[in-house]
Structure 1
Amino acid sequence: MEYLDFELPIKELEDQLDKCQIIGQESDVDVSNTCKQIEKKLEETKKNIYKNLTAWQRVQMSRHPNRPYTLEHIASLTNGTFLELFGDRGVRDDKAMVGGLGQIDGQSFMIIGQQKGVNTKMRQLRNFGMANPEGYRKALRLMRMAEKFNIPVLTLVDTPGAYPGLEAEERGQGEAIARNIFEMMRLKVPIVTVIIGEGASGGALGIGVGDRVYMMENTWYSVISPESCSSILWRSWEYKEKAAEALKLTAKDMKEQKLIDGIIPEPLGGAHRDKETAFRYVKEYVMKAFNELKDLSTTDLVAQRMDKYCNMGEFKE
């Protein structure tokens, strides 16, 4: 298990607990009381740290290398029934964007999301979760297929942003994302969106329009990353923590601003410390949302979605 900077006190106590247990196993000394004291202190330390995370620490949690990515969520949600579909029927198959059909508790879903990759080789293959225009066009193709067969759509967002390369711009990156937003607004099937990691900029918005939008507890959703914001405003990455606070990018901030519909809780210490519990929470929220939406007529569904996004934000004339 890898530890972030602010988790080092937890690591020290866990190391002490391991040593205490080893001593108890390898000698006749009774160390049970000592181990219990360390366990109690460890639990208190975890609660104190994770209850008071800053915005920047939440960003760090969302990027934890052991955090479950899209394909892990899909495998758990669908229990092995997922059938991946490929290609945008125009350029190529974008490995940063995955999608296909799967069943969750017997209900078919078209599931789409960004995949970052679990090691260096896979991250290169997946382009670190940064989709090209063909990735967004593949997503749109799958959403239209879902609409044709009246299958609800589930999108899992985890991206540092859409790929900003020259070739992506040449193939119409901005248009592809804008087209997805436009088409998702009027899609005639229920759409449930879950931010499972990073939700950055248009890369997230390209599959982020939904009737219900949820964020996992230790994720972020913003027009720009804290590092990029810091480099623009202060011409240095050193102010990334200050930028994270100013951007109001945490799940709590998004809920207060009425930009999302709910926050999915995570196990103490983050989704990476107890993946199965995290997967169970996500499934509960997805199925709850679907049950709320499944009986709406297509007219009401689209109208409510339109109203939801039209009512976002505040202005004063």
Structure 2
Amino acid sequence: MNYLEFEKPLAEIEGKAAELRAMGAANPDMDVEKEASALDAKAQKMLVDLYRNLSPWRKCQVARHPDRPHCRDYISALFDEFTPLAGDRGFAEDEAVIGGLGRLRDRSVMVIGQEKGHDTQSRLRRNFGMARPEGYRKAIRLMEMADRFGLPVITLVDTPGAYPGKGAEERGQAEAIARCTQKCLSLGVPLLSVIIGEGGSGGAVAFATANRIAMLEHSVYSVISPEGCASILWKDAEKMREAAEALRLTAQDLKKLEVIDRIIPEPLGGAQRDPAVMIKAVGAALGAMLAELDGTSPDALRKARRQKFLDMGSKGLAA
């Protein structure tokens, strides 16, 4: 278990309990269970206190936790007969974006998601979930295929943002993001999006311009990272805590602002503490959101999706 900075006191208690049990296992004559159980109770209370009212910056830290279930974990657990589809048919395969056909509860769907990777090697291969233009163009290709065959599209969003490198800009990063967003708006099939970790900037919007948008309880969704915002406004990345407060990037804030439609509760201590429970909850939410859109005509889906985002703009101006 990896512990976040604010979880260090919890790490000490849980570590002591683990040490006691290891000592007891090595020496059966030692009775350590009572003391270890007392430490477990203390750790549980501390965990409740820590997660009762997380600040926006702490939610950012939880959203970035390396042990959170990632796109591949959700696809493996929720989608039967998943068949990956690669390449944008124009330049290259982008491994930051996973996409393909699968079955969710016996229903054929197209699933597209951003994958950060679990270890150093996979993170480098996946470019830390930061897609290049070919990743967005692959997503466009798969959305067009889904539209042609009448398949709902499900997107799993987890990215710090689009890749800002020189090569990506030379190959039309901004244009690719804009066209991906445009494609989301034009689909005549249900489009569902779940922000499972970070929803960073246009890199997230290009996948999340959806009929229904859900966020995990401790995920974040913003136009810029807190560090980037602090660097621009205050010329000091260390002011990221103040930036996180100002950005209104938590699921709770965005639900109040009607930017998202639902919040999916996480296990106590975050999704990383019980990935299986978290994945099951996301599956249930996807099933419920699909059911809400069943029987809706293609024109009605397009109209409702466009109106959803137009309403966000008008409400923002009114505020």
- Counterpart of 1:70, as a letter, is C
Between the two proteins, the alignment pairs up a number of residues equal to 316
In structure 2, stretches of 5+ residues that fail to align are none
Question: What does the per-residue CA deviation read over 1:116-166, in whole Å, with 9 as the maximum and x for residues that have no partner?
Answer: 122222222211111111110100100010011110000001111111112
Which residue pairs with 1:164 in the alignment? 164
**How many angstroms apart in 2 are the aligned matches of 1:219 and 1:235?**
26
Which residue pairs with 1:260 in the alignment? 260
Structure 1 runs of 4+ with >4 Å offset: none
Which residue pairs with 2:54 in the alignment? 53
Which residue pairs with 2:138 in the alignment? 138
Q: Alpha-carbon deviation of 1:20? A: 3.0
Which residue pairs with 2:3 in the alignment? 3
- Counterpart of 2:291, as a letter, is N
**How many angstroms apart in 2 are the aligned matches of 1:82 and 1:90?**
24
Q: Does 1:188 align with 2:188?
A: yes
Which residue pairs with 1:315 in the alignment? 317
Provide the secondary structure at the position in 1 that maps to 2:113: strand
**How many angstroms apart in 2 are the aligned matches of 1:17 and 1:211?**
47
Q: Which moved more, 1:60-69 or 1:216-225?
A: 60-69
**How many angstroms apart in 1 are the aligned matches of 2:29 and 2:127?**
54
Q: Does 1:299 align with 2:299?
A: yes
Question: What does the per-residue CA deviation read over 1:172-224, in whole Å, with 9 as the maximum and x for residues that have no partner?
Answer: 11111111111211200001100011111111111111110001111110000
Q: Which moved more, 1:132-141 or 1:35-44?
A: 35-44
**How many angstroms apart in 2 are the aligned matches of 1:174 and 1:97?**
17
Q: Alpha-carbon deviation of 1:27? A: 4.3
Provide the secondary structure at the position in 1 that maps to 2:296: coil
Which residue pairs with 1:68 in the alignment? 69
Q: Alpha-carbon deviation of 1:115? A: 1.1
Q: Which moved more, 1:31-40 or 1:265-274?
A: 31-40
Provide the secondary structure at the position in 1 that maps to 2:156: strand
Alpha-carbon contact 2:143-2:183 (below 8 Å) kept: no
**How many angstroms apart in 2 are the aligned matches of 1:194 and 1:126?**
20
Output the TM-score relative to the length of structure 1.
0.96
In structure 1, stretches of 5+ residues that fail to align are none
Output the TM-score relative to the length of structure 2.
0.95
Which residue pairs with 2:275 in the alignment? 275
Which residue pairs with 1:40 in the alignment? 41
Q: Alpha-carbon deviation of 1:37? A: 2.0
Question: What does the per-residue CA deviation read over 1:84-112, in whole Å, with 9 as the maximum and x for residues that have no partner?
Answer: 00111111111111100011111111000
Question: What does the per-residue CA deviation read over 1:256-284, in whole Å, with 9 as the maximum and x for residues that have no partner?
Answer: 11100011111111111111001000000
Map 1:12-51 to 2 at 5 A.
Answer: 12-25=12-25, 26-51=27-52
- Counterpart of 1:52, as a letter, is N
- Counterpart of 1:196, as a letter, is I
Q: Does 1:87 align with 2:87?
A: yes
Relative distance call for 1:149 and 1:28 in structure 2 (3 A) is same
**How many angstroms apart in 2 are the aligned matches of 1:115 and 1:180?**
18
Q: RMSD of the alignment, in Å?
A: 1.4
**How many angstroms apart in 2 are the aligned matches of 1:239 and 1:300?**
44
Relative distance call for 1:284 and 1:316 in structure 2 (3 A) is closer
Q: Alpha-carbon deviation of 1:249? A: 0.5
Provide the secondary structure at the position in 1 that maps to 2:207: coil
Which residue pairs with 1:176 in the alignment? 176
Provide the secondary structure at the position in 2 that maps to 1:314: helix
- Counterpart of 2:11, as a letter, is K
- Percent identity between the two aligned chains: 47
Map 1:101-120 to 2 at 5 A.
Answer: 101-120=101-120
Relative distance call for 1:186 and 1:238 in structure 2 (3 A) is same
